[in-house]
Each structure stands twice: as structure tokens, then as C-alpha cells.
């Protein structure tokens, strides 16, 4: 199997792993609506992100099944850089798993505050406030390198960025309302998606 064919097999495996991982934690830590004190309402940003995910998914399927449909979006990336994209995705999954394991029952599939909410500052949260979202960007952003296609990668990155920005704005306001100066102090010592340079 050639390099291009191998990458066409890896891409759907990446999405299956991403969906399975998210489904596992959604089932394991299903939040109780009774314990929920505040939850992000539907927003135009989340709807735009959902709309963008459809052409991103269709373009990804086309890349795997009938690549000539999306070859007009191809980039001339060297093979080593495309395989580096697999490494980017793997690092994203490692960060995602580390973050999920650290959060435990404080995690929720949608931004919310629960009655038992804790302010987690261990593991990856020692340096960044939103490592799960950083992991999402690594995993979905890796599609740009793996497919060597600006259409596919661009759609995934754009949709994820819009949704993540909206989530972060909501979460930080909610955490400030819940934890006050303790969270503000934590914000001053950490980065949002990447570690703060001192």
C-alpha cells in the first residue's frame, strides 16, 4: 500500500477514534440536568460550526472514496509533512485523554456548571485552561496535513475555531461567576489554548 493510500485509510480511522472517544466519555460522565446550575444556550456560533461540519465531512468522505472530486483543493506538501500530520493527530489524542482523565466527573459534553463543579488545576490544566479544545484543534487541524488539501483542512479548522471560541467565552464567564477571584488568579497564571510564556 502506497503512502497516499495509507493516508486515505488513516483519515477515517482518525474520525472513528475521535467519535468513539467522545462517545465513551459522554456515556461515562453523563451530566445530570438536576445538578446543572448553568448551561450554554444554543448560539449562532455553534449553529455556524454545525453547518460547516457538513461540507467538511462530505469533503473528507470524497477524499477517501473519490479523491478526484476534491483534488482542486490539493496542496503540494511533502510526504514527510503529511505523515507529521499523523503525529499531530496522535499528540492531540494524547492531550485529549490526559485532559479527560484529569477532569473526571467535572467534564461535560456541553459547557455547563454543575452543583458539584470543581476548579481543576492539575495535569494539563496547570499550564492551560482549555486543553481539550487545544486537543480538538490538533486533531481536526491535522486533516490539513494528512489530506494535503486546504478545502478539507480549512473547513475543519474554521468550524472548530468558531465553536471553540464561543465555548471558551461562555466557560470563562461562567467560571468567573462561580469561582470569582480564584479563577481570575488562575487565568492570570495560565494560557487559554497554549502555555503562557513567562
Domain ranges for the chain = 3-20+42-108+120-189
Highest CATH level, class, for 3-20+42-108+120-189: mainly alpha
Helical H runs in 104-149? 131-147
- Burial of 38 from C-beta contacts in 10 A (0-12 / 13-18 / 19+): middle
Strand 36-39 with 112-114, pairing: antiparallel
Query: pTM of the entire structure?
Result: 0.93
Neighbours of 25 (CB within 10 A): 20
Task: Quote the radius of gyration of the chain (alpha carbons, Å).
Answer: 18
Residue listed under C-alpha cell 503562557:
196
pLDDT of residue 107: 87
What's the CA gap between 112 and 103, in Å, rounded?
14
Please tell me the predicted confidence (pLDDT) of residue 57. 97
- Average pLDDT of every residue of the chain: 93
- Who contacts 162 (Cβ-Cβ below 8 Å, separation ≥6)? 45, 48, 49, 52
Give 139-159 pLDDT, tens digit per residue: 999 999 999 999 999 999 999
Mean pLDDT for 2-24 is 93
**Least trusted range by pLDDT, from 36-40, 93-97, 174-178:** 36-40
Planar angle of CA 128, 156, 137, nearest 5 degrees:
15
Confidence bin at 1 (pLDDT 50/70/90): low
- Whether 106 and 117 have beta carbons less than 8 Å apart is answered as yes
Amino acid at each position: 500500500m502506497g503512502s497516499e493510500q495509507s493516508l486515505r485509510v488513516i483519515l477515517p480511522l482518525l474520525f472513528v477514534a475521535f467519535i468513539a472517544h467522545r462517545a465513551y466519555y459522554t456515556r461515562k460522565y453523563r451530566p445530570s440536568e438536576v445538578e446543572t446550575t448553568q448551561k450554554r444556550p444554543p448560539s449562532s456560533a455553534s449553529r455556524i460550526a454545525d453547518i460547516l461540519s457538513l461540507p467538511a465531512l462530505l469533503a473528507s468522505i470524497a477524499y477517501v472514496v473519490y479523491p478526484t472530486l476534491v483534488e482542486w483543493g490539493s496542496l503540494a506538501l511533502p510526504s514527510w509533512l503529511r505523515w507529521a500530520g499523523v503525529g499531530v493527530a496522535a499528540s492531540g489524542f494524547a492531550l485529549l485523554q490526559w485532559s479527560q482523565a484529569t477532569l473526571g466527573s467535572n467534564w461535560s459534553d456541553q459547557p455547563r456548571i454543575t452543583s458539584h463543579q470543581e476548579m481543576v488545576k492539575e495535569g494539563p490544566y496547570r499550564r492551560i485552561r482549555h486543553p481539550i479544545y487545544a486537543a480538538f484543534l490538533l486533531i481536526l487541524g491535522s486533516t490539513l496535513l494528512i489530506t494535503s488539501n486546504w478545502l478539507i483542512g480549512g473547513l475543519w479548522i474554521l468550524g472548530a475555531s468558531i465553536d471553540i471560541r464561543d465555548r471558551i467565552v461562555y466557560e470563562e464567564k461562567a467560571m468567573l461567576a462561580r469561582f470569582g477571584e480564584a479563577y481570575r488568579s488562575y487565568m492570570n497564571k495560565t494560557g487559554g489554548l497554549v502555555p503562557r510564556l513567562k
